[in-house]
Amino acid sequence: MNGWTGNILRVNLSAKTHKKEAFSEDFAQKWVGGRGFAVKTLYDELKPGIDPLGPENKFIVALGPISGIPAPNTGKAVVAAKSPLTGFYGDGNLGTRAAEHLRKAGYDMLIVEGKADRPTMLYIEDDKVEFIPADEVWGQGTYVCNEWIYSKYGKGVGVLNIGQGGENLNRHAVVRSMEGRAGGRPGIGAVMGSKLLKAVVVKGTKSIPQADAAGMKAAGSGDLKRVGQIDKETGWSIQSTTGVLPFCNEVAGLPVHNFRKTHHPLAWQVDGERCNNARVATYGCPTCTMRCGVTVRDAEGHESELDYENVALLGPNLDIFDIPQMASLNYLCDEYGLDTMSTGCTLSFYADAIEHGHVDGDFKFGDAERAKELLRLAAHREGKVGNFLAEGSRRMARMIGHNSEAYAMQVKGLEVAAYNCKFIPGQALSYGVAPIGAHHREAWIITFEIRHTTRESYGPEKAAKVIELQRIRGGLFEFIVSCRFPWIENGWPLDNYPKYFNLATGLNWNLDDMWRVGDRIYSMIKLHFLREYPQASREDDYPPRVWFDPANADTEGPIAGKHLELDKYDGLLQHYYDQRGYDRRGIPTKTTLHALGLDAEAAAVQAHAKLTD
């Protein structure tokens, strides 16, 4: 089978066994890789209702047919499991040498089952699999763990590891790699921790099967250089993602004070220009010529790699407008292996709840030193406060009551990204219908919405744009498994991706074929959701309720007096459902599932919940 190695590596930590399993051509073509492989496998293999932090859950690393191949920015992997944060399918995408190594070791997917009897590191070298005691680094952060691994195997190996956050089952712990990379926002790091799996280390020495290896080499390597050249011309990676902050501030889309405010006069102090001026190093993923990791020194002198999401949610969202202090929080998230975005939102929710008098506590917006201490407590689940913060904002809100869920900034349990949609209906929709919870990965329509349509509109054109972007961002890039930044930031044409795919597989697909796979994957995530939440309703696709509250409208600035309107949002949601072929609950109809070749999967869910014709 060209394009795929054709193999899955299945490891059982309880039994300390492993086996290589072949997958069929049909599975490969239907699900392609990455998110597609992960969602189908978890749907088929997990019983509904299992504890995400119990041994029945499975930790998956899945690659795509172009991951690890010398072509633009292919050093990426999808990590997935049933999420301890949201209670259904969750995943993330991170830059890692493990992508290329796992493929070169002969696998397109790693499935880890069971639970080890002591802290363990999994070492994979081609057909060899070893279960290595990791007691020495259990309790240590990700940087120490990385160094320990490099000292054993050298710097070139692929590493996925967790910090204290994952070990202590913080529900938004991430998987870390290569010092600066992190992924798996919905608590995939905690799933590793629940299995006592400290790290996965991979070394592969074979070649990746490709239909036209020479053609791919010529096209891929040339394109890699070209993308780097374009980036030099556009200058995008000078500020990289941090460059978007002034735009968000100007259009009243920045999260400030737990999203209560949408802009701030001091925001410039942490903007892309200042971050770049403070830069001490630059990092990036493997196979990348537009390395985007703007790295600064934090208040304690550590290197800390910034992205817009991290800056905005650990900075202005907490009323912190100081680069070194914000960078300290970012560094601690990396060290402990916690998601910066959910951490920023849970801390801001906590400060907001204290301000409302809904919970007792001594944390105030702007108090960076206390935020650092709280972060440490959350990572270690230390004391009442640490345990509380480790639960994520939806559970925290349900614990404290007082209708505080209205200002817990999350959808389906996953905290929202750093775009304040108090009055940005289309982006609010994109959070609402993001299949794994409020991730900006799936669709980011703010610039389209503000610059190319009417911001006030709740029309079908916005639903159509969300679907178009979901197909590209949440579909194509997640199953072919490659970084989306060449396309999104530097305009690298999408047509290149079927080209790479066809050179690798020998097939003759076009972009329409890709959209169909993406739609199939989205439907599958929805079936996961329905199976775990049979009472699913359209309200699960609503953004945080505070955005609908007139009392929360800005009192000055570009959107003074404005807020989202619930009946209009509901209409926009219906446009989305109609265009997608989903029912009034936001679940694909039987007709839609049939058209996507998912009759068997539809039949399987009917034991748990009803589908609409």
Binding pattern to ligand PTT, positions 156-195, x when CB under 6 A?
Answer: ------------------x-----xxxxxx----------
Three-state SS string across 365-405, please? CCCHHHHHHHHHHHHHCCHHHHHHHCCCHHHHHHHHCCCHH
User: Helix, strand or coil for residue 474?
Assistant: helix
Q: Other C-beta atoms within 10 Å of 348: how many?
A: 30
Long-range contacts of 233-236 (CB under 8 A, 24+ apart): 234/489, 234/490, 236/290, 236/292, 236/489, 236/490
DSSP sequence for 97-147? HHHHHHHHTT-SEEEEES--SS-EEEEEETTEEEEEE-TTTTTS-HHHHHH
The reply to whether 583 sits near ligand PTT by the rule CB under 6 A is: no
Q: How far, in Å, CA of 266 to CA of 327, rounded? A: 16
Binding pattern to ligand SF4, positions 88-117, x when CB under 6 A?
Answer: -------x----------------------
The reply to whether 312 sits near ligand SF4 by the rule CB under 6 A is: no
Write out the two tokens for 322: 């100081």
Choice between 1 and 178, CB closer to ligand PTT: 178
The reply to whether 79 sits near ligand SF4 by the rule CB under 6 A is: no
Alpha carbon 39 to chain centroid distance?
14
The piece of 21-29, 289-297, 367-375, 426-434 that touches ligand SF4 (CB under 6 A) is: 289-297
Q: How far, in Å, CA of 93 to CA of 460, rounded? A: 30
Choice between 477 and 548, CB closer to ligand PTT: 477
Contact with ligand SF4 (CB under 6 A) among 165, 284, 413, 518 = 284
Q: Is the dihedral of CA 482, 488, 490, 496 positive or negative?
A: positive
The reply to whether 306 sits near ligand SF4 by the rule CB under 6 A is: no
Residue 174 contact among ligand SF4, ligand PTT, none, beta carbon within 5 to 8 Å by kind: ligand PTT
Q: Closest by alpha carbon to 69, among 511, 502, 493?
A: 502
Q: Tell me how far, at minimum, the Cβ of 488 lies from ligand SF4, in Å.
A: 10
| Region for residue 301 given its phi and psi (left: phi exceeds 0; alpha: psi -120 to 50; beta: otherwise) | left
Residues 567-606 that bind ligand SF4 (CB under 6 A): none
The piece of 271-279, 285-293, 460-468, 596-604 that touches ligand SF4 (CB under 6 A) is: 285-293
The reply to whether 290 sits near ligand SF4 by the rule CB under 6 A is: yes
Q: How far, in Å, CA of 418 to CA of 273, rounded? A: 18
The reply to whether 483 sits near ligand SF4 by the rule CB under 6 A is: yes
Contact with ligand SF4 (CB under 6 A) among 288, 418, 467, 593 = 288
Residue 284 contact among ligand SF4, ligand PTT, none, beta carbon within 5 to 8 Å by kind: ligand SF4
Q: How far, in Å, CA of 408 to CA of 438, rounded? A: 12
Nearest residue to ligand PTT by CB is 92
User: Helix, strand or coil for residue 219?
Assistant: helix
The reply to whether 477 sits near ligand PTT by the rule CB under 6 A is: yes
Contact with ligand SF4 (CB under 6 A) among 226, 232, 291, 538 = 291
DSSP annotation of 586 reads: S
The piece of 201-209, 306-314, 452-460, 604-612 that touches ligand PTT (CB under 6 A) is: 306-314
Q: Other C-beta atoms within 10 Å of 537: how many?
A: 12
Choice between 66 and 483, CB closer to ligand SF4: 483
The reply to whether 76 sits near ligand PTT by the rule CB under 6 A is: yes
The reply to whether 412 sits near ligand PTT by the rule CB under 6 A is: no
Contact with ligand PTT (CB under 6 A) among 83, 161, 168, 241 = 241
User: Helix, strand or coil for residue 305?
Assistant: strand
Alpha carbon 158 to chain centroid distance?
20
The reply to whether 435 sits near ligand PTT by the rule CB under 6 A is: no
Q: Tokens 């990746």 belong to which residue? A: 208
For the chain, give me the number of helices (H) and strands (E)?
A: 26, 17
Binders of ligand PTT: how many residues, by CB under 6 A?
31
The reply to whether 285 sits near ligand SF4 by the rule CB under 6 A is: yes
Q: Tokens 């690393």 belong to which residue? A: 61
The reply to whether 391 sits near ligand PTT by the rule CB under 6 A is: no
Choice between 307 and 583, CB closer to ligand PTT: 307
Q: How far, in Å, CA of 423 to CA of 466, rounded? A: 16
DSSP annotation of 7 reads: E
Q: Tell me how far, at minimum, the Cβ of 111 lies from ligand PTT, in Å.
A: 19
Choice between 524 and 602, CB closer to ligand PTT: 524
Contact with ligand SF4 (CB under 6 A) among 63, 134, 182, 292 = 292
Write out the two tokens for 317: 């969202």
Q: Tokens 């936001």 belong to which residue? A: 586
The reply to whether 182 sits near ligand SF4 by the rule CB under 6 A is: no
* Residues 201 and 179 sit within 8 Å (Cβ to Cβ): no
The reply to whether 484 sits near ligand PTT by the rule CB under 6 A is: yes
Residue 142 contact among ligand PTT, ligand SF4, none, beta carbon within 5 to 8 Å by kind: none
Binding site for ligand PTT (CB under 6 A): 76, 92-95, 174, 180-185, 241, 285, 305, 307-310, 333-334, 338-341, 441, 477-478, 483-485
Which positions touch ligand SF4 (CB under 6 A)? Answer: 73, 95, 284-285, 288, 290-292, 483, 485
